[in-house]
Amino acid sequence: MFSIGNPICLYGDFFVTSFTPVPIKENAHLANEEYLKIMNAGTDDTNPALVFYKLNPAYE
């Protein structure tokens, strides 16, 4: 369970997107522990989180 969205821009070899952390109440047991920490720390004053990711070149 990850909120990886469409890329907003590129930074070097990375795609960049963002999301606003909001507490996860349903199906929290499905979330990655580190992701859950970020999401549950979100409040009304939280800035968006940036996500940097690469596509797997071995994927066909």
Percent of the chain with pLDDT over 90: 17
Is 58 part of any domain? no
Is 35 part of any domain? yes
Count of domains observed in the chain: 1
Token pair for residue 4?
């990886």
Domain assignment of residue 19, given as a range: 9-52
Is 59 part of any domain? no
Q: Which residues pair with 51 in a beta bridge?
A: 17
Burial 5-33 (b: 16+ CB within 10 A, else e): eeeeeeeeeebebebebeebeeeeeebee
Identify the band that residue 3 occupies on the pLDDT scale cut at 50, 70 and 90. low
Cβ-in-10-Å burial (0-12, 13-18, 19+) of 38 comes to middle
- Segment 21-26 shows an average pLDDT of 84
Is 21 part of any domain? yes
Identify the band that residue 2 occupies on the pLDDT scale cut at 50, 70 and 90. low
Is 14 part of any domain? yes
